[in-house]
Structure 1
Amino acid sequence: MTIDDLTAAVLRISDLYAAEHDIDRDRDWALLKLQEELGELTAEHLRLTRRARGTPDETALGDEAADVLGMLLIYCARSGVDVEKAMQRKWLKWLEPAET
């Protein structure tokens, strides 16, 4: 599955969720939800590293990471960010051979 395929699937699921719960999902909503999901990922990390109360759950960490990625993809789509191009420009360029 490509990033574009994953984004399209996540957006379809987000459309279903929004219709079911009558949520207006603009760019601000997506950014705020991304922050919320990052907080939940942080909470799970703290539980797993025994720095917070609660029972650690290894699957919850992956679930929260998936929520962060999903919301990031939604935010990027709402903001017109091409994630593949941005990753190439910002990160993957370092794997390319240097020009001589």
Structure 2
Amino acid sequence: MLDRLGSQFETASAGYASEHGIERDPDWFVLKMQEEMGELTQAWNKFSGRGRAHGKSNGELKCLIEDETADLLGHVLLFAHYHNLDLAQAIERKWHFQVAL
């Protein structure tokens, strides 16, 4: 399941990078995770009252948190895909449960 999802993110990301002339070198993948974590943190700060909500409702801010979490997950999977990491095996090793395939 994680491999398939990683491949789907790879297809989308490679197309976007090609369209916009972005070079995705090994550093790009880890830097994008950091960028997305920053965006998620910013969204969380708005939702939790630690940042300006710019007139957005709690529902809109929750949607923003969901979107930024999806972006972060996507970039984690892209990082794993690019570096040929077996996340399912790592989850089983670190978290002691099996990933449903």
Output the TM-score relative to the length of structure 1: 0.86
- Deviating runs (4+, > 2 A) in structure 1? none
Identity %: 38
How far off is 1:65 after superposition? Answer: 0.1
Q: What is the 5 A alignment of 1:1-100?
A: 2-54=1-53, 55=56, 56=58, 57-93=61-97
Q: Which has the larger radius of gyration?
A: 1
Q: Distance in 2 between matches of 1:8 and 1:77?
A: 7
Unaligned runs of 5+ residues in structure 1 are 96-100
Query: Can you give the 5+ residue segments of structure 2 that lack an aligned partner in the other structure?
Result: none
The TM-score, its normalising length taken from structure 2, stands at: 0.85
Q: Give, in whole Å, the separation in 2 of the partners of 1:82 and 1:28.
A: 19
Give 3-state SS (helix, strand or coil) of 1:77's partner.
Answer: helix
Aligned-partner residue type, residue 83 of structure 2? S
